[in-house]
Amino acid sequence: MAQTQTARPMDGTALARRIIETSAATAAELRLRTGKAPCLATVLVGDDPASVTYVRMKRRRCESAGIVSRHVALPATSTTQDVVDAVTALSNDPDVHGILLQHPVGPHIDERAAFEAIDPAKDVDGVTMHSFAAMSFGLPGFVSCTPGGIMRLLDEYEVDLAGKHAVVVGRSAILGKPAGMLLLGRDATVTYCHSRTADLPSIVQQADVLLAAVGKPRFIAGADIKPGAVVLDAGYNDGNVGDVDFEAAAERARLITPVPGGVGPMTIAVLLEQTVAAATLQLGAAA
């Protein structure tokens, strides 16, 4: 029997701060060297309050890190072609180095078509098909920000992934699927679970590394956490509640991300880091 223990929290706030500080220093150095600051364009369709808040937060973080933020606000009535045109213009604009199209774009818009209008060289949010395949095949490219942030947390806490069983609960195109591919690329054995999975607890109980990415409050019971597991909670539900029952899980896990302050802050940090990396590549190529 494994002894009852209290998990060490994985401090995403602190790691994100360090990544943003380093990105800010790189951005300043780039500006000195080329006379140009990295620029992230944000595209928001409509005025969904949560999306407005997210985009505002991302823009503020950019500006505080010396990244120019350019905002394109499109009305909720925009067509797919309107969004594709706006994104294509940004892809073709040499003063824009990274593009973030805030998800969701609305049910009447072909989100995939809109994402695919992003030049992969500017896909700092890691949402294009090219970026997904690059993540899956271990090729150069930008990663989806939340999965990328999760990998950074695992590295920060020196979690050895090779041969370990990583269970990903959730299979979205920007979170569960790419996270599983990144874990597979690091030699984990990877299981994808989802709403149709039969007997989820029996699979969760096998997880050396568990990623919860379903968006259902306390969906994963603490009793199902394998003693000594590493638990990553990408859920962020009403009332600052994650997808995992934190208190009960923390009694069994070795490492666990709190909500908030775990995975959440990492997403923006990776977005900023990748924007600076994109600008460095594009401005370097132009110099």
Q: Among 41, 124, 203, 253, which residue interacts with its own copies (rule: CB under 8 A)?
A: 203
Which burial class, exposed, middle or buried, applies to 279 when counting CB atoms under 10 A from its CB (0-12, 13-18, 19+)? buried
Closest CB 260 distance from its own copies, rounded Å:
29
Q: How far is the CB of 162 from its own copies (least distance, A)?
A: 5
| Contact region with its own copies (CB under 8 A), list: 10-18, 180-188, 212-220, 260-268 | 180-188
Amino acid (1-letter code) at residue 104: P
Any contact of residue 117 with its own copies (CB under 8 A)?
Answer: no
Q: What SS3 class is residue 114?
A: helix
Which range, of 6-14, 26-34, 100-108, 194-202, touches its own copies by CB under 8 A? 194-202
Q: Would residue 155 show up in a list of annotated catalytic residues for this protein?
A: no
Note if 243 is an active site residue. Answer: no
Which of 284, 286, 281, 285 shows the shortest CA–CA distance to 124? 281
Q: Where are the alpha helices (DSSP H) in 138-262?
A: 145-156, 176-185, 200-204, 246-250
Please, which residues have CB within 8 angstroms of residue 132's CB and are 6 or more apart in sequence? 126, 144, 173, 177, 178, 181
Per the annotation, the verdict on 102 as an active-site residue is: yes
CA distance 24 to 146: 20
Neighbours of 157 (CB within 10 A): 16
| Total of residues contacting its own copies (CB under 8 A) | 30
Catalytic residue among 119, 123, 125, 208: 125
Among 34, 88, 197, 237, binds its own copies (CB under 8 A): 197
CB nearer to its own copies: give 170 or 235: 170
Q: Is 170 annotated as a binding residue?
A: yes
| Residue appearing with tokens 């409050």 | 217
Closest approach of Cβ 136 to its own copies, in Å?
A: 6
The binder of its own copies chosen from 25, 139, 223, 281 (CB under 8 A): 139
Task: State the minimum distance, in angstroms, from the CB of residue 208 to its own copies.
Answer: 9
Is the distance from CB of 217 to CB of 238 less than 8 angstroms? yes
The Cα–Cα gap between 38 and 148 comes to: 20
Nearer to its own copies, 152 or 164 (CB): 164
Select which of 58, 122, 164, 177 is catalytic.
58
> Residue 147, preceding bond cis, omega within 30 degrees?
no
Catalytic residues: 58, 102, 125
Residues annotated in a binding site for NADP(+): 170-172
Binding site for its own copies (CB under 8 A): 112, 129-130, 132-134, 136-137, 139, 162-165, 171, 173, 177, 180-181, 184, 187, 189-194, 196-198, 203
